[in-house]
Amino acid sequence: MPARTQPTIRQVRLGVELRKLREAAGMTSRDAARLLGTSPAQMSQIEAGNAGVSEERVRRLAVHYACADASLIDALVEIATDRTHGWWEDYRDVLPPVFQDLAELEHHASFMWVVGTAHVPGLLQTEEYARAVLAYRVPELPDSELEARVEHRMRRRAVLGREGATPYEAVLHESVLRTRVADRRVARAQLQALLAESERPNVTVRVIPFDVDGFAGASSMMLYAGGRVPALDTVQRDAPYGSVFLDAAAQLLAMRTLFRKVEFVSLDPTGSRAFIHRVAEEL
């Protein structure tokens, strides 16, 4: 089987977790390759996410790695055997890989926590708001790519309304509500959309007003996506030149703690809806 030229974030994560298990067992990649009857080079490809691995091989490795976490192994098998052709793959040759990675992450998340301190999070954006945010860059995007990015962002929103929709909690700073990325009409429509989304049974929106004490988290923007098991959680954060995905245990713990700190100083959902409504009326 030829090596993958563009492994997905889940395929890479599977390889990372298999490598972690091997290293915890004190085994080399040559030892693991011998167990599978393959070459060290092929084992390296598997651990890099560049080559697939069967359920039988994942379970055989788990036995030899003395991994007793059955839930984790079942979750890794699920990734290894996943043959889903997600809608995001339609954009593989149109948009940078991070767009597909983010859509895939959201699609498979068991829950999502989001902190927004600059913009309304992507899954809650209206089309006009999204277009204004995505167009605000230097150099400007060609119209065709801008529209592809807007379309991709709108299609991502389906995870909030599908059957068995993912629990989603967003904590937004007041600056997010008051920043006009376009004009007054777009801003008002976006706030009304936020109110409508907050009525979904799986969606919680919280607000941190300017005058609340104890918030110094202006750089706290993040998406925390729950995996099938906690060890497979992932955090996505914006960076100056794209997005970064974090999955080390210490990083996940830090981001869970950060989210709880931000959530602690926010208004409750009812108070937050009333606050958004007041801001909308002021426009």
Q: Are 276 and 195 in contact (CB under 8 A)?
A: yes
Q: HSE (CB half, 13 Å, CA atoms) of 257?
A: 6
Average pLDDT on 75-96 reads: 93
Q: In the structure, what pLDDT confidence band is assigned to residue 4 with cuts at 50, 70 and 90?
A: low
Per the prediction, the chain carries an average pLDDT of 94
- For residue 26, the Cα-to-chain-centroid distance in whole angstroms is 31
Q: Which amino acid is it at 178?
A: R
Q: Is the Cα dihedral 54, 57, 61, 63 positive or negative?
A: positive
pTM score:
0.93
Average pLDDT on 84-92 reads: 91
Contacts by 210-214 with C-beta closer than 8 Å and gap 24+? 210/174, 210/175, 212/265, 212/266, 212/267, 213/265, 214/264, 214/265
**What is the reported pLDDT for 68?**
94
Average pLDDT on 36-61 reads: 95
**What is the reported pLDDT for 239?**
74
**What is the reported pLDDT for 32?**
95
Spatial distance between the Cα atoms of 154 and 95, rounded to a whole number of angstroms: 14
Spatial distance between the Cα atoms of 204 and 81, rounded to a whole number of angstroms: 33
The domains located in the chain, with CATH, are 9-81 (1.10.260.40), 90-282 (3.30.870)
Instruction: Give the C-alpha distances (Å, rounded to integers) separating 67 from 11, 71, 75, 166, 226.
Output: 20, 10, 13, 29, 21
Average pLDDT on 180-207 reads: 97
**What is the reported pLDDT for 97?**
92
| Token reading at 193 | 């959309």
How long a stretch of residues is the chain? 283
Q: What is the DSSP letter of 55?
A: H
The answer on pLDDT for 31 being more than 90 is: yes
How large a percentage of the chain has pLDDT more than 90? 88
**Using one digit for the tens of pLDDT, what is the confidence trace for 216-272?**
888 889 999 999 999 999 999 987 677 899 999 999 999 999 999 999 999 999 999
How large a percentage of the chain has pLDDT more than 70? 98
Dump the DSSP string for 117-128: SSS--GGG--HH
Q: In the structure, what pLDDT confidence band is assigned to residue 60 with cuts at 50, 70 and 90?
A: very high
**What is the reported pLDDT for 3?**
59
- Secondary structure class of 204 (helix, strand, coil): strand
| Residue among 126, 128, 121 nearest 182 (CA) | 128
